Structure 1
Amino acid sequence: MKIDWVALGSVFGVSLVATVALVGLFTLGIVGMSKQASANGGSVALARTGAYLCFALCLAAVSYGIFLIVT
């Protein structure tokens, strides 16, 4: 049995980057939702919109991952 270490490293690197990016997006969404409570005026709408955008991107990334696994 022979292990392709380059392919294994490539998969590890891509999954690490994707995980960090997904967690970062979700964290930005949480921060945006918490800023809405302390912000005043027009900043509330901007923070809420940014948070919803981050959550939508997380949902899209997870959906794409599930699509790749199923197909």
Structure 2
Amino acid sequence: MKIDWAAIGSVIGVSLSVTVGLVALFTLGIAGLSRRERAAAEGNGGGAIAATGAYVCFAACAAAVAYGIYLIMAKS
């Protein structure tokens, strides 16, 4: 039995990259919602752009998760 270490390394690299990217994207969404709340508490009207950015980040995270589930289901 021969183990393809290059393929295992490739899978680990892609998995790590996608995981870090999704966590960073979700963190940006949380930061955007926090910025919106801070702007609302201070009475500033600048929270709309932060909220829109946060919702875009959350939508991208949901799309990535849905695509992952699709890939798992299509290969089964």
> TM-score scaled by structure 1?
0.96
* AA of the residue aligned to 1:33: L
Q: Which amino acid aligns with 1:67?
A: Y
Provide TM-score, normalisation by structure 2.
0.89
Matched, 1:53 2:56: yes
Identity level (%)? 66
Instruction: Answer with 1 or 2: which has the greater Rg.
Output: 2
Aligned length: 70
State the partner residue of 1:70: 73
In 2, the alpha carbon distance for the partners of 1:25 and 1:69 equals 22
Where does the alignment leave 5 or more consecutive residues of structure 2 unmatched?
none
Letter in 1 for 2:55: Y
In the TM superposition, structure 1's runs of 4+ consecutive aligned residues that sit over 6 Å from their partners are: none
Taking the aligned partners of 2:2 and 2:33, their CA distance within structure 1 comes to 49
Give unmatched runs, 5+ long, in structure 1. none
SS in 2 for 1:2: coil
Q: CA deviation at 1:37?
A: 1.0
CA distance in 2, matches of 1:38, 1:56: 22
